[in-house]
């Protein structure tokens, strides 16, 4: 699973597709490259309104379509380049959409849950079960989507949950669907007074010396065992988010 900043990497022959070519070559046969896409949503403000008003407010908005809706802008342009790549697979989810390419892409993306789409049974969970890794290429330190899985597994009391309404494309025409999950909008699943705890977890993990660290272009790169990071994060959350 890749999180990357093309700006941090610097000039690359072939641009974003050159980076994807290199990643696919590095994983080789029997592997896959996965990224989280989410979905561009210019109507996200609707979910800040009372639930009783959302269906009316969504009237006239463009429905989410798994194959054509652009990636959420803040995941970076490399994710959008992967979405557009021939042979890519995507999950059909307006909030937790993933893309993967390669021999094991179908295993990673199989049977994704509608609710709690970053939790058990999600592509993140499959990544851990298959012995996968997270590769960070100059991405911000609060950018580790896998830590959402740890939020589901950590024994934290009174986790915040949210409900969103989305208009999605369907064979019979657009439908309003409700998505329920742990809070994943940046405020966290509980109070923590010291900023972003995803960044704190990553810093502590990197300080432990368990990641492979090097350089790719101009960017610091970190290769992290997915299962090991989740185990570390669950323990960290249990000891700090109380």
pLDDT digits (tens, 9 = 90+) for 13-64: 999 999 999 999 999 889 999 999 999 999 999 999 999 999 999 999 999 9
- Contact by Cβ (8 Å): 76, 70: no
At 187 the pLDDT is: 84
pLDDT greater than 90 at residue 180: yes
Q: Phi-psi category of 188—alpha, beta or left, where left has phi over 0 and alpha has psi -120 to 50?
A: left
DSSP SS3 for 222: strand
- Burial class from Cβ neighbours inside 10 Å (0-12, 13-18, 19+) for residue 117 reads buried
- Percent of the chain past pLDDT 90, that is, above it, reads 94
At 191 the pLDDT is: 87
Q: Model-level pTM?
A: 0.95
pLDDT tens-place string over residues 192-221: 888 889 999 999 999 999 999 999 999 999
Residue 9 in tokens: 């990497």
Looking at residues 223-242, what average pLDDT do you find?
96
pLDDT tens-place string over residues 78-96: 999 999 999 999 999 999 9
Residue 165 in tokens: 């309404």
pLDDT greater than 80 at residue 242: no
Q: What is the largest CA-CA distance in the chain?
A: 53
Measured CA distances, 110 to 33, 64, 74, 105 (Å): 15, 20, 25, 8
Placement of tokens 């010291």 in the chain: 194
Instruction: Give 48's Cβ-side CA count (13 Å radius).
Output: 5
């Amino acid at each position: 699973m890749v999180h990357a900043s093309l700006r941090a990497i610097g000039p690359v022959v072939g641009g974003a597709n050159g980076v994807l070519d290199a990643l696919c070559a590095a994983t080789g046969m029997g592997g896959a490259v996965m990224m989280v896409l989410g979905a561009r949503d210019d109507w996200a403000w609707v979910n800040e309104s009372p639930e009783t008003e959302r269906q009316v407010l969504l009237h006239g908005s463009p429905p989410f379509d798994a194959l054509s809706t652009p990636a959420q802008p803040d995941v970076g342009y490399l994710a959008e380049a992967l979405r557009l790549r021939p042979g890519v697979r995507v999950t059909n989810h307006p909030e937790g959409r993933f893309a993967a390419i390669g021999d094991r892409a179908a295993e990673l993306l199989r049977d994704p849950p509608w609710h709690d789409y970053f939790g058990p049974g999600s592509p993140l969970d499959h990544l851990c079960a298959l012995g996968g890794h997270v590769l960070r290429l100059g991405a911000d330190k609060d950018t580790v989507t896998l830590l959402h899985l740890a939020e589901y597994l950590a024994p934290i009391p009174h986790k915040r949950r949210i409900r969103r309404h989305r208009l999605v494309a369907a064979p019979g025409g657009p439908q309003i669907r409700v998505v329920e999950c742990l809070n994943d909008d940046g405020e966290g699943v509980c109070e923590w007074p010291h900023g972003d705890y995803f960044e704190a977890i990553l810093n502590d993990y990197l300080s432990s010396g368990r990641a492979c660290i090097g350089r790719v272009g101009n960017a610091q790169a970190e290769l992290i065992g997915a299962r090991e990071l989740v185990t570390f994060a669950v323990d960290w959350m249990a000891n700090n988010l109380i």
